[in-house]
Structure 1
């Protein structure tokens, strides 16, 4: 039997059903997720790393920036993907920061963390999650 790869949407749907009082079995049936996965997720505080950073995420740097955040809130994966897309087009930290809605030093630090090679939003996001723990 092949292993099913669940998405972050599945995780969020299951967590919401559990938060509303559903049983593990009820959440599994309602969301179409294996009961074993729901049971494991019910004991986890956050989704597994492989679920957080999707591989095929594409960003149009000319398009709208990610949704705004309140002051002090961490960068999301979408923010990091947007930073990567704009950086690859030659935009500087000040210009990127203006579009994303953060201070320019936040963007400069984010880009500096990836000293070797191009900035990878997946690696940066997983690294930030590890540091936050």
Structure 2
């Protein structure tokens, strides 16, 4: 096995992602996909392409600024595609890319888990907050 320089070893190590390290790009991605609006947007797009207004109606209480920011981040990360159809008015649709679809089962599982276990979490919160 040939000897490698320290620079070569560092370059090889940088290819391996370790989300426990603060500088790791995987940690940045975890930050992105753990956002509640990202999770809800990905789940909302599961049934196919949707227009901005449809997403905004589906994601109750999301502000226009937050939805726009979320969709831009998802597009930048390759999870969502944005298609503009020239018409009057212009039609813009958002859809999951194949990469975004690969994330969908995880996001759906987290959403389903939260809905299924909310009563237990509420009970735990009540017990924790009870004077002791």
- State whether TM-score is above 0.5: no
Greater Rg over alpha carbons, structure: 2
Bigger proportion of residues as helix = 2
The structure in which a higher percent of residues are strand is 2
